[in-house]
Amino acid sequence: MMSTNKPGVGDSFPDIALETPDGGSVKASDFAGRKLVVFFYPKDNTPGCTTENIDFSALKDQFDAAGVALLGVSKDSAKKHLNFIEKHALKAPLATDAEENGLSDALGIWAEKQNYGRTYMGMVRTTYLIGPDGRIARVWDKVKVNGHAAAVLEAAKAL
C-alpha cells in the first residue's frame, strides 16, 4: 500500500520495533535524548548496499564521538544480517524490517520499483536523521551511495 502522507522533517519518527541480528529488538524510542541516523537499504551483499554499510561502519567512531547512534535497516532476515556483518566486518548495527506494515511501510519507502521493465516491491534507499526529541530533522531520498555516509555525518554533527 502506497501512503501519500510520508512522515517528513518535523514529524515524529514512527516507533516501530525491528528485529536485531541477536534476536532482540530495537525501535527509535530506545535512542530518546540522542541523535539517530537510520539508513534503509535494499539488500545485504549487493554492491551498493555493501558499499553503503562499509562507509557507515568506517565512520562509526566519528558518529559515536558526535553522540549519534547508527542503525542500518533492510528486509533481510536476522540470519542474513549476521552473515553480512561477519563477511564485511561491519560496525554499524543492523535491524530487520521484514514484518508486513513495518517501519518502511509506515515511512512510505517500501514502494513499487522498476528495473529492466520489471515492476516489483522494494526498499527505496533512504536515510533519516532523527533529533534527540524523536523528530525527523533531515531526510535523504533515493540516496546515491558515494560520499553519502560522510554527508550524513556532517549534517548530524551540525544538528
Question: What is the bridge-based pairing of β-strands 68-74 and 35-40?
Answer: parallel
Global confidence as pTM: 0.95
* pLDDT of 1: 44
Please check whether residue 84 lies inside any domain of the structure. yes
How far is residue 48's CA from residue 45's CA, in Å, rounded to a whole number?
9
Q: Which of 38, 49, 90, 136 is catalytic?
A: 49
Please check whether residue 7 lies inside any domain of the structure. no
CA 94 vs. chain centroid, Å, equals 8
Please check whether residue 83 lies inside any domain of the structure. yes
Q: How many CB atoms lie within 10 A of CB 18?
A: 22
How many domains does one find in the chain? Answer: 1
3-state helix/strand/coil string of 69-93? EEEEEECCCHHHHHHHHHHHCCCCC
User: Does pLDDT of 17 surpass 70?
Assistant: yes
Please check whether residue 142 lies inside any domain of the structure. yes
Using 50, 70 and 90 to split pLDDT, how confident is the model at 4? low
Using 50, 70 and 90 to split pLDDT, how confident is the model at 2? very low
Please check whether residue 67 lies inside any domain of the structure. yes
Determine the structural domain holding residue 119 and report its residue range: 32-158
Please check whether residue 102 lies inside any domain of the structure. yes
CATH code of 78's domain? 3.40.30.10
- Active site includes 2? no
